[in-house]
Structure 1
């Protein structure tokens, strides 16, 4: 059995660890991170050339199942995976960590786009902590009257906001560390995506303790008709089921 795992997420790596000893596993990484943590098994880096290219790759490499374990906001590759799996008649499963949910004391401002996030954050404060990734920085570049702290794994590329500091770091992050960061930089607003998981969740607790507003970008849904599980263990069980796995559509 040959499976393709899409994504370099923590969940994707964990799934590869669970199954690579008993099935042939190929993990596909987008290549946007300079020094990614590599999973066990075979690894490929880079795009496929859209849905058609991915469908061709699935046929040529005789893939038996695809697990879309990409980041919850990687909706383009998820859409391509759904189309390619249907075209190649290969079963597809989406592995998505659960999203975050507000608790008592949170001051959340949900939005649907980064452009909306920029407008809301600008109204809420002038010292803004961005944890939305380096690829979305352009949405904030038009704001001249705010100071931004961007945390990302790799350096961003322009366009930048006029007043920007960059903190290169990779999670997981601790609650004490997030408390210190918010205090040290006098942060007034946190902007983040609903990525879910525990690696970056402490920033939400720290923001709640400091009574800071959080502008949070809602995650896009998985493609219609694609089954979804929330843990690598459940994805491994789906693969083990064998005869219960069915192609989409």
Structure 2
């Protein structure tokens, strides 16, 4: 059996190590959004498949027996396509989807369904920390006129897509004390984030709570009806049961 692991998350990394330790035959796939991704202990391909036809051709050419989707919770197009193709081909498919964050005592969250809704909840004189990723920036163009600080992993090769924006280059992990210090130094008044869930991104939310900063939280996109697991252990067990 050859498993295709759609990777790019911390869960995918841990799943790859767990399956490698068990001697499972796994090929990981990374979208290529990060220039220097942490290496995985299994053969890894980088880049897209060339649309649905290319994805089908890859599955056939590599004799893929099952697909485990451990992409980001907001990789909706990839997930929908993968579930659809695997269903049509009769390939076992499961999605690893960690639970979303929920607000707690002291949090000041406003939930939105689309990026263009954010501006209605952020005053014009705000300093906005935009923690939604480089690829989403054009969708937040109506924040123009505010000071917008977008955190990215790699140095940008293009200018900010709208006026008033600046890049903050940093590589995770991000710790609570460092996030608080960063927000203070930059004068951040509002945080915009995706509800990605997981432990890795909680520090910025805790920092916002500690500083009393409002958070505009983007709800997750709708996911396909498919087998779903929440943890690394459940994902490895699903593969072992195939």
Gaps in structure 1 of 5+ consecutive residues: 243-249
- TM-score if structure 1 supplies the norm length? 0.91
The aligned counterpart of 2:228 is 228
Answering whether residue 90 of structure 2 is matched by residue 89 of structure 1, we say yes
1:159-185 CA-partner distances (Å, limit 9, x unpaired): 523122211112111110011011111
Question: Kindly tell me: are residues 155 and 214 of structure 1, through their superposed partners in 2, closer, same or farther at Cα, counting changes over 3 Å?
Answer: same
The aligned counterpart of 1:135 is 135
1:61-91 CA-partner distances (Å, limit 9, x unpaired): 1111100100000001101101211222210
CA distance in 1, matches of 2:165, 2:74: 24
Deviates more, 1:162-171 or 1:180-189: 162-171
Q: How many residues align?
A: 240
The aligned counterpart of 1:245 is none
- TM-score if structure 2 supplies the norm length? 0.94
CA distance in 1, matches of 2:81, 2:155: 27
The aligned counterpart of 2:2 is 2
The Cα shift of 1:158 comes to: 4.7
Whether contact under 8 Å (2:116, 2:142) holds in the other structure is no
The aligned counterpart of 1:207 is 208
Question: Kindly tell me: are residues 77 and 93 of structure 1, through their superposed partners in 2, closer, same or farther at Cα, counting changes over 3 Å?
Answer: same
Q: Partner of 1:141: helix, strand, or coil? A: helix
Whether contact under 8 Å (1:134, 1:155) holds in the other structure is no
Question: Kindly tell me: are residues 84 and 122 of structure 1, through their superposed partners in 2, closer, same or farther at Cα, counting changes over 3 Å?
Answer: farther
Two-structure CA RMSD over aligned residues (Å): 1.5
Whether contact under 8 Å (1:67, 1:93) holds in the other structure is yes
The aligned counterpart of 1:182 is 183
Answering whether residue 220 of structure 2 is matched by residue 219 of structure 1, we say yes
